[in-house]
Amino acid sequence: MADVCLPHGFRRPVRKKPGQEKAGQAAFGSSLFHIHVISPSPFPMQKNSPFTLHRNSSCCAARRGEVRTEHGSFQTPMFMPVGTLGTVKAVTPENLIEMDAQIILGNTYHLYIRPGHELIRSLGGLHRFMHWDRPILTDSGGFQIFSLKELARITEQGATFRSHLDGSSLFLGPEEAIAVQEALGSDIMMCLDTCIPYPATRDEAIKATDLTTRWARRCREAQSGTSQLLFGIVQGGMYGDLRRDHAHALVDIGFDGYALGGLSVGEDKALMQEMTEAVIPELPPEYPRYLMGVGTPEDLVEGVHRGVDMFDCVMPTRNARNGTLFTSTGKITIKNARYREDKAPLDAECTCYTCRNYSRAYLRHLYQCREILSYHLNTIHNLHYYLNLMAGIRAAIERDQFTAFRNDFYGKLAGE
């Protein structure tokens, strides 16, 4: 796959159409619609970005950097293992440290419902609660509300929904999302957003994006002055111009980082990459960029190629529990009979605990018996694979050899 050289730090200016000088109007196509936050914002751009750029690739938008938080720094590009309920499923914090997980993700929606953010606050915050002293990012709950849309009703004020546990009525608005995340004590908080389904009409995307922008301003206003970082989330559906203008609106408010939300919701890979390419040049290069909920190893490589710094996804942990394991030459479905007597490790190039000590035959046996150890060993391997992939990407960018790394990555997959 050929590389395409892209300019670094390029941001297109907002081009206004005749008669569009009034605050609060933005053009999409040939029509005008109202975005409340386009007017001059009381919030200037954050003066001190938490992001430090170390190296740009000379042949694409890939870049090597570092993000500073209250609980330390993490290197980018970085994959964040998902610990939705205050635990990364099937592994311990010590396992995560051994594989050099530098930041993990928790979820506001789930921790709000159980055990409750006030309980976690009373026990010293999420870091102490789960025995993790490195950075934590908390998602705002917007995607979970989207996923449980049959249980939710979204209004200007926020989302009223029924708990998926006991059916009780709950409410989460921008102010509540920030209050919960401040109680949890995460290092990076996310604005509450409205995730747009795919497919969605242009009018539906405009309406939802407009609401997300208003919610973003309310999230910014709700911050109480803690040292926690706050990221805005770019929406806009699968309409590149809507996403570009929404990125401008969020930058006008000013956040500590910017995320691309509402992707990997059913669209094909080419469309996801097109939306990523539409947004990244519109974001200020001195701030971190986060592609939410993505994805496969190929998605990570392609996201980095387009200038993304941060990723998260349940895929490595969920697939591990389902017996699908990632290797340098492709995926292995460990239940297959071909591995019944296979003495080899999962991946001859892997140095994880699982590959150093166990054969494919043994891992197949554990999975066929549904032994708990199967989930543990498989998860260790998959997370190590993802984190090692990102470490290799960072090293390649430092040497300005990301193009060669990318080509080698696909060459190994094609050779399987």
How many C-beta neighbours within 10 Å does residue 131 have? Answer: 11
Alpha carbons 198 and 208: distance in angstroms, whole number = 13
Q: Which amino acid is at 37?
A: V
- Each residue of 241-276: b (16+ CB within 10 Å) or e? ebbbbbbbbbbbbbbbbbbbbbbbbebeeeebbebb
DSSP-derived pairing of the beta strands 63-69 and 72-76: antiparallel
Q: Which of 187, 193, 312, 347 is catalytic?
A: 312
Nearest CA-CA partner of 388 in 131, 33, 101, 106: 101
Q: In this structure, are residues 127 and 136 in contact, taking their beta carbons and an 8 Å threshold?
A: yes
In a 3-state reduction of DSSP, which class is residue 232? Answer: strand
DSSP-derived pairing of the beta strands 159-162 and 324-327: unpaired
Alpha carbons 173 and 177: distance in angstroms, whole number = 6
Residues 6+ positions from 49 with CB-CB distance below 8 Å: 256, 286, 287
Token digits of residue 88? 């990364």
How many C-beta neighbours within 10 Å does residue 89 have? Answer: 17
358 bridge partner residues: none
Q: Residue 372: exposed, middle, or buried by beta-carbon count in 10 A (0-12, 13-18, 19+)?
A: exposed
Q: In this structure, are residues 346 and 363 in contact, taking their beta carbons and an 8 Å threshold?
A: yes
Ramachandran angles phi, psi of 397, nearest 5°? -65, -40
Q: Which of 3, 139, 256, 309 is catalytic?
A: 139
Alpha carbons 324 and 246: distance in angstroms, whole number = 37
299 counts as catalytic: no
Token digits of residue 142? 């917007």
Token digits of residue 80? 């964040």
100 counts as catalytic: no
Tell me which residues are annotated as active site. 139, 312
